[in-house]
Every structure is written in structure tokens, then in C-alpha cells.
Structure 1
Amino acid sequence: MDQHEVLNRFDRHMRRDATPDNSAAVVEHTGGVVRQSGGPHDWNGVLWSDLDEESAPAAVAAQVAHFTALGREFEWKHYSHDRPATLPALLLAAGFVAEPAEALMVGEAAALTAPVELPEGVRLVPVTDAAGVELMASVHEQAFGSDGGWLRQRLLAQLTGTPDEVVAVVAMAGDVPVSAARMDLPPGKEFAGLWGGGTTEAWRGKGVYRALVAYRARIAAARGYPYLQVDASDDSRPILHRLGFVQLSITTPYVHKP
């Protein structure tokens, strides 16, 4: 993989030329930034910026004013290769709070499709309706210790409004959900996004997470996506590295609440 070229492709496809991730959201190019604005359960934030030390302060202030007027919490999704170097300090000074950094990791979909043997009694079930979404939210709450309400709202909206652009799957041990993940398939892009891969504590280290990656890789490759993209936590980063993913940057969510 030519890492420099793939990073340039990622910036162009997924950030600079981003498209709305659902039918209710709007992507705008304004004041040197690319932002998405949507409803209270949508992702609201800045995807890309082309700023320098002179233009950055006004751009930050303009985005705070825009989302505050909407009454929206929003995220400035910063990458370690973004410029200017002073941007993180400007965001903090404007009232943003930095959440834990994650690694931008990319893998070639076709190289990640090999099936993984699941533990005895575990099966992968596609999520297509509200009942499946509830199983996913249950896993999310157990694996990450956070409320799954936003996931219920977002995934139900995707499955209803743009079902061809999302894949969701839950691993079941008998009747108990033990792991779950989803994948965004943005039309016309080269990168399928892997999100929300979480496994309940008792089932970690048994290959279930790897099986969910392979499951989604097969679908992405069949749909013509050459790359898989993950914002990897410290827990998932070594697993993805062993599977063949490459780290291209570090991304930090800077969150501003109205």
C-alpha cells in the first residue's frame, strides 16, 4: 500500500468531497471548511478544513456560531496531518473538549475476506429491523459502558432511509448477543467505514471481533470498495494491525456543546 497516496485518497473522498451520511443531513463547503449539519440524532460537525494561521480563528468562530444557532452539539474531527499546527489550541480556547484520540487505520478489503472460525455455538446474524437494532444497542451498552440511545435512532434511520448504504451484524451465542458492528457504504467512494465493533467482556479474545471484520470485508469487496477505514481505539488497534491494517494518521474528536 502506498500510504501517502491512500491518505490523499481518503482526505479527498471522505473529507473534502464528503456526502451526507443520511437523507436528513446537509454537507456544506463554507469558509475553508466542509461541515455536516443534521438533526439532533445525526452526526454534526466539521469533516475537513483548509486553513492557515490567519484564517483559522475566524473559521473556528464561524462554526461555533453556526452550530450554536442550530442548538447542536458538534464535533471538529481533527487529524494529526491537518494544518495549521495551532488548530488544536484554537479549538480548546474556543471551548471545545478533546475526546480520546484514535488511529485512522486502512486495510485493503480484498485481503481481509478470509473466513474466521467462530467459537462453538456462535453465529453471525444480519441486522435489518428494529429487533436487530435493539440487540446491537444491548451489546454497545455492555461493551462500551455507554447509552445506546443514539445508536438506536441513527441505525434505524439508516435502515429505513438508506438501507443500501449500511450493513449491520450481531454475533449471537444462542439467544444472547455477544458482539456487534456496522459498516457505512457511501455511494461513489473508495472507503467503506467500519464502526462500532464491540464485544462483551466474556467473549473477548475468542476471534469474534476478527470474524465481524471479515464479514464486512467480504460485503465491501463484493460491492466494489477497495479499502476499509477504521477509527481504532487502543483496544482494537493491535488486532487490526495483525489483520493487515495500516495506520495513516491520528484523529481526535474536539466536541463543542451549545
Structure 2
Amino acid sequence: MFCLSLSNKMAFTSECNCGGLPIGSIFASKRGLGNVKLPSPTSNFAKTTRMTQISAEGSRNKDGLLGDAPWNLFFDLRERETEWSEGNQERLVVAFAAEELEISPAEVTRRLQELTVLLPDISLRLHKLRPSIVATLIRDTKDVARRLVRLKATFPKANLDTVVSAEPQILLRDPSEVEREAAEVADLLGVQEIDSLVEQYPRILDAGAVEEALSMLRAVMPGKDPRATLVASPSFISRVERGGRRLGDNPDPGSDYS
């Protein structure tokens, strides 16, 4: 099983040149303009093997032999997998988008560069996003730009790069629906605007979840103002999302890997 896993990783991490750029290299820097070469498998193997030897140094038995503790056997494999995973997942995203949109990997790379000009932070999460969402976003980057303008009008004080990178689905929702939801949430919380709350926790744009969170807070914190509590800690909504209302859903709907 180990040999198969290692060979797969070696195959995925070989350079695939698309339009003069390795697929993974455009995500090496925040703006997707870097050209940093991924570390070679050989150097990783040497480093992790050495670290395994060091980590096991204190685990020798009375005969001077290394113990058989699980971390001694698998430490190097786990670390190497962590180092390779992001690059592999980025390549899978690019391959999926190319097939979904029926375009070349080089064209996917070009459109991703356009997307990272609009949303620099999204390049840091490419390996975590659902390939289908990435494909939808790069289908028409001009439409993404128009939606960003509309979103900025709705949340003028929010950092949209931060918001969309954390919750890219917000760009796929109908702008009018987002505006209505924002007004409902603001009314439920008794505030004039929710720009800072959306920046802190974009998934607060769910009036139903906000109502449930307020109801839960009233039950567990009688005598406290639930609205003030939720405004101070908007991520409390995640407790509602983990409950029966969304039981079985991916905790991060934009991600297949988180």
C-alpha cells in the first residue's frame, strides 16, 4: 500500500507545464505570480528519513534497537504527505476545471491568474476549494468582477478579498438574495449594517441560522442579550450549523479537503 501511495505522489508532483508555467507555481505567492519550484521528492525523503531517525533516538530498547512505536514507523510518511498534499490537490483542481469547462489546462491557468488579480487571497485556498466551485468562478471572470462591484455596494466597509476567499459561494448567490439576507440579518441583530460581521464570519449571511442561534443563546444564557452576544461572536452560528439543521453537511461547503 505504501509503494502505491508513494508512486502516485511521485506521478502527481512531476512538473506539468501549462503555457510556460508549472500548474502549481502560480499559487506559490499570494498573488499567484510566483514561480517557486516544488521541493524534489529525493530531498524530502532524505530530510524526513533523518527526522525519523532523530525522533526515534530516545526510543531504543535495552538491546539498543529502535522501538516499534507507531510514530517511529510512520512519522516520515505523514510529514511527506503533508508537504505534497497542497500541490497535488491544486493539480486535481486544474484538471477538473479543464475537463468541466472543456478547455486546456493552460487556459485554466490563465483564468486562475485573472481570478487571483481580483481576489489575491483565494490562491491560498485553491487546494481546499471544491473543484466545481473553482470551475464556476473561472467560467467567466468578467462576471466575477461585476459581482464583486455589486457585493462592494452591499458591504462597503468589508474586505471582500477576505470574505470571498473564506466563502466563495457568496459570489455564486443571486446578488439580490444576498442584499435581502443582509437586511434580514441586520434586523434580527438590531444593527445598522453587518459589514464587519460578514468579514469575520461570512456564513452569518443566513437569516435562518441567525434566528436559531439567537434562540439557542436565549436558552443557554437567560438574562443575557443574545443579539449582543452574537454580534460579539458571530462564529457562534457554527454551533447551529453543526446541529440537526445541517447534520451531515460538509462543515465547509466550499471545501472537499478541510
Structure 1 length as normaliser, TM-score? Answer: 0.27
Larger strand percent:
1
Structure scoring higher RCO (CA < 8 A, sep ≥ 6) equals 1
Higher helix share: 2
Larger radius of gyration: 2
TM-score normalised by L of structure 2:
0.27
